[in-house]
Amino acid sequence: MPYAVQAELVQNRRLPQENYLLTFRAPEICGETLAGQFVMAAPKTHQTVPSPLLKRALAVYSIRGEYLSILVKAIGEGTLRLALMQPGHSANLIGPLGNGFDLTAGRGKTNFLIVGGVGIASVYLLAQKLKQQGDDVHLLYGARTAADLVMLEDFQSLDIPLFIATDDGSAGFKGFITAGLGDYMKACSSNLNFYTCGPEPMLKAVSIFACTQGIPCQVSVEARMACGFGVCLGCSVSTRDGNRLACSDGPVFEAGELIWDRP
Amino acid sequence: MESKVNLAVKIAGVRFKNPVLTASGTFGYGIEFAQFFDISRLGGFCTKGLSLLPMAGNRPGRIVETPAGMLNAIGLENVGVDCFIVEKLPLLEHYDTQVVANILGKSVEEFAELARRLDLHAKISSLELNISCPNIKEGGIHFGHDPKMAFQAVTAVKRNTTKPVWVKLSPNVTDVTVIAKVCEEAGADALTLVNTFVGMSIDVYKRRPMLSNVTGGLSGPAIRPLAVRMVYQVAKAVRIPVVGIGGIMCARDALEFMVAGATAVQVGTANFTDPLAAVKVIEGLEQFCREQGISDISTLVGSIRANG
């Protein structure tokens, strides 16, 4: 069940390339958050008309006791306003929202977390949980440049194998993560399970690859949304089951369910 | 001891415990908000627009944020009237709030049939005709812009229901009082003003419309002054009650509509930014009345004074 709360910012960690890791004290939300769920967030304001008007949907990056962290890349007005928050300020948060990843699918499997850019924000909790249930986890992380590879150290400290790709070759494999995926796979067991989150072209490529190879694959999608809890119907996603909502039916869908024919 | 403020209002014989409803399309089928607050606190709520058959809505790319507002082109996605009656309505039974069923027909006959099916259910207090959704070609737009068709739709619905009939008007007309008067003549019991304004937003990098539907309906505080003006005009032009809607974020905004002539108000887009927005409006109205020494909120309705 989601809560609408005011949560105090306790830390704002500035990271490279306009990324910020914001940590809030939000005990109610922390108590119920599953890997892959998200919150709607906006700084608290005394204006009757906040600017921008709508909250932003952001994956819960990590939970530590009563503290919840979100990774924000300041790319627009909404994310910039969050990024500029100072400790002591409060945000209005609604969460936890969405379905989250299905962890049972990863049981006894070699799990590939295939992420691009800020998609990394959706999979840290997942990596932790999969490790906790004793399963094999690999992170395949693509970004524009080496500097964009934020939060790597968190995954390193989970002691999981990494495969890195950058568009400019400044770290790891030069090219898209999906181009290196086939070769990386060869070194691993055939008992694979994919989780993926990132830019839509990457999700599409990973989904199609997984479906052709017969590898189970859960995809966390992104869509513009106004409310986050299933009433605005703005975040519609085309699936074989008809239109579904990224916020309340998703954000995680099976790769085979999604239809990728958007112009 | 503080005297109690009477927040109750009546529309066509139906009592609303306070003048704050939530708007169709922003409140689901009601139950979605019960996880955030006791929806019995609301004067009432308007359901997502119900059609005879379920509708899938538009392709993705349905909303975009704009200054002080948002554009939407959901395309009337809804579960259909039968599913609403069978699956959603029973969940509302024990909530003490007025349920206003918003209906949308593609023809006069569909409007009439929707009214007939909903008339049997006591939990529904009133019907609100959506003759104004701008997002699908066959959906209501003819009714909202064509006085003759609006007249026929209202007459047909009135013939098929014992419940009060509200008509939600489109602001995308030259003179909103023309269609308002026609609906009154056809027997409408109340008018809801306004639905969204047709707008457009463009991605300049891709040079494509932001919405898959190209255009969408603008809502939020950006439209409030336009909506207040239309409520003011229509309240002077008709004798039936007006329900004001358009960018209400707080009690002050709601009061503007009431002073302009609205008997009740609807909170819409604000439900997305804050699920508790409507409750805060109710609390703010009570506080305002208390501070201003107003014992009955209905005395504010249409209380606007002339300049001079």
Q: What is the pLDDT of residue A260?
A: 86
Q: Which of A181, A179, A176 is nearest to A142 (CA)?
A: A176
Say whether pLDDT at B139 is over 80. no
pLDDT tier at B141, thresholds 50, 70, 90: low
pLDDT in tens, A114-157: 999 999 999 999 999 999 999 999 999 999 999 999 999 999 99
Q: What gap in Å lies between CA A122 and CA A127, rounded to an integer? A: 10
To the query of whether residue B250 is one of the catalytic residues in this protein, the response is no
Say whether pLDDT at A6 is over 60. yes
Structure tokens at A170: 């400044």
Domains along chain A? Answer: 3-97 (2.40.30.10), 104-257 (3.40.50.80)
Instruction: Verify whether the Cβ–Cβ distance B70 to A231 is below 8 Å.
Output: no
pLDDT tier at B159, thresholds 50, 70, 90: very high
Give the gyration radius of chain A's Cα atoms. 18
Closest chain B residue to A224 measured between Cα atoms?
B63
Cα–Cα distances in angstroms (integers) from residue A51 to residues B145, B254, B267, in the given order: 33, 20, 18
* The residue type at A124: Y
Q: What is the pLDDT of residue B206?
A: 95
Q: Look over chain B and give the mean of its residue pLDDT values, rounded to a whole number.
A: 94
B267 versus B143: the higher-pLDDT residue is B267
Query: What is the ipTM score, two decimals?
Result: 0.92
pLDDT tier at B106, thresholds 50, 70, 90: confident
Element (H, E) at A213: helix A200-213
SS3 sequence, B257-298? HHHHCEEEEEECCHHHHCCCHHHHHHHHHHHHHHHHCCCEHH
Contacting A residues, span 93-112, partner chain B, CB-CB under 8 Å: 94
Mutate to test the interface with B, among A46, A231, A253 (most CBs of B within 10 A): A231
Q: What is the pLDDT of residue B95?
A: 96
SS3 B225: helix
Query: Mean of the pLDDT values across residues B241-253?
Result: 98
SS3 A164: strand
Task: Match 């703005």 to its residue by tokens.
Answer: A234
Q: Which of B156, B214, B228 is nearest to B186 (CA)?
A: B156
B33 part of contact set with chain A, CB < 8 Å: yes
State how far Cα A38 lies from the chain centre. 8
Q: How far is B294 from chain A (nearest CA, A)?
A: 24
Query: Mean of the pLDDT values across residues B169-179?
Result: 94
Contacting A residues, span 13-72, partner chain B, CB-CB under 8 Å: 42, 48-55
pLDDT tier at A261, thresholds 50, 70, 90: confident
Q: How far is B238 from chain A (nearest CA, A)?
A: 32
Q: What is the pLDDT of residue A167?
A: 94
**Who among A224, A226, A243 is closest to B57 (CB)?**
A243
pLDDT tier at A88, thresholds 50, 70, 90: very high
* The residue type at B184: E
Instruction: Verify whether the Cβ–Cβ distance A53 to B72 is below 8 Å.
Output: no
Q: How far is A247 from chain B (nearest CA, A)?
A: 13
Residues from chain A that touch B275, judged by Cβ atoms under 8 A, are 4, 94, 227, 229
Residues from chain A that touch B33, judged by Cβ atoms under 8 A, are 231
Instruction: Verify whether the Cβ–Cβ distance A232 to B74 is below 8 Å.
Output: yes
CATH for B9-58+75-198+220-300 (3.20.20.70, 3.10.28.10, 3.40.50.2300, 2.60.260.20): 3.20.20.70
Element (H, E) at B113: helix B108-119
Query: Mean of the pLDDT values across residues B269-292?
Result: 97
Q: What is the pLDDT of residue A263?
A: 46
Q: How far is A44 from chain B (nearest CA, A)?
A: 11
Which residues share a beta bridge with B215? Answer: B200
pLDDT tier at A189, thresholds 50, 70, 90: confident
Decide: B235 and B260 in contact? Cβ < 8 Å: yes
- Percentage of the residues of chain B whose pLDDT score is greater than 70: 96
Buried b (16+ CB within 10 A) or exposed e, A38-67: bbbbbbeeeeebbebbbbbbbbbbbbeeeb
Q: What is the pLDDT of residue A256?
A: 95
Q: What is the pLDDT of residue B57?
A: 92
Instruction: Verify whether the Cβ–Cβ distance B57 to A94 is below 8 Å.
Output: no
pLDDT in tens, B209-225: 999 999 999 999 999 99
Closest chain A residue to B63 measured between Cα atoms?
A234
* The residue type at A253: F
SS3 B165: strand
**Who among B36, B61, B273 is closest to A50 (CB)?**
B273
Query: Mean of the pLDDT values across residues A26-34?
Result: 96
Buried b (16+ CB within 10 A) or exposed e, A153-177: ebbeeeebeebbbbeeeebbbeebb
Say whether pLDDT at B41 is over 60. yes
Q: How far is B219 from chain A (nearest CA, A)?
A: 11
Q: What gap in Å lies between CA B63 and CA B76, rounded to an integer? A: 13
pLDDT tier at B1, thresholds 50, 70, 90: very low
Contacting B residues, span 74-103, partner chain A, CB-CB under 8 Å: 74, 77
